[in-house]
Structure 1
Amino acid sequence: MPDTLPSEAADMKARVGEASAFLKKLANPDRLMVACALVEGERAVRELEDLLGIRQPGLSQQLGELREAGLIVGRKEGKQVFYRLADPRVETFITTMHALFCAPRGETP
């Protein structure tokens, strides 16, 4: 058996770490709820707090984790900070997860 992987397998192995880190970040229930809330578009921190029932200190921690992982981005407008999903891959993944798990029963395809 050769010591080298076929090119396709080597490419997959190189990317598995990124995929695993992505999934680990979203494995936290609060972070997943935040991402699901952002699937519909940008939201203010206060709006997320009210919508999700996560108190401000905990929400800030989860937003920081998602931001650090590059899954969300924020912008400041006056005293408010607004967040949205960061890139098309995140949006595609969360849209699928949202449809499968977050949408009201009977609305999934």
Structure 2
Amino acid sequence: MPILSTRIEDELREGPEISPELDQLMRNARKASDFLKALSHENRLLLLCLLAERERSVTELENILSLRQPTVSQQLARLRLDDLVTTRRDGKTIYYSLANDDVRRVISVIYSIYCEPAAASEK
């Protein structure tokens, strides 16, 4: 099943003129690349997996991952900068959650490929 439309495929063969569709594809590729870079760090990926389940506090994330607070906060700051997580403050406690369903969908696919018990036992 092709990923690119036949129109974009034709444009790629025809030469240097870039249509609005190809220009949009290129901009979207940049966004996807930035998204994948954010996921490429083990701790950030673990944080996103935990947040895919439910909203969690920084302290809860530290305890689950057995990481120091500065490490967790640094990775959460990167995820926040990349618009992958959002925050909510309740008194002194900051809670993190996934920013949108697109993030949840990607994390779900990654989890199903690499982490589900049935898939892991087959590899």
**Percent of residue pairs bearing the same amino acid type:** 36
For 1:47-86, list aligned pairs within 5 A.
Answer: 47-86=60-99
Q: How far apart in 1 are the matches of 2:110 and 2:62?
A: 21
Q: CA deviation at 1:10?
A: 3.1
- Higher normalized helix content (fraction of residues): 2
Structure 1 length-normalised TM: 0.88
RMSD of equivalent CA atoms? 1.7
Q: What secondary structure does 2:118 align onto?
A: coil
Q: How many residues align?
A: 107
1:24 aligns to what? 37
Instruction: Indicate if the aligned counterparts of 1:39 and 1:94 stay in contact, CA closer than 8 A.
Output: yes
Structure 2 portions without partners, runs of 5+: 1-13
Q: Using the TM superposition, give the Cα deviation of residue 30 of structure 1 relative to its aligned residue in structure 2, in angstroms.
A: 0.5
TM-score (norm 2): 0.78
Residues 89 and 95 in structure 2, CA contact (< 8 A), matched pair in contact too? yes
Q: Which structure would you say has the larger RCO, counting Cα contacts within 8 Å and 6 or more residues apart?
A: 1
Runs of at least 4 residues off by over 6 Å:
none
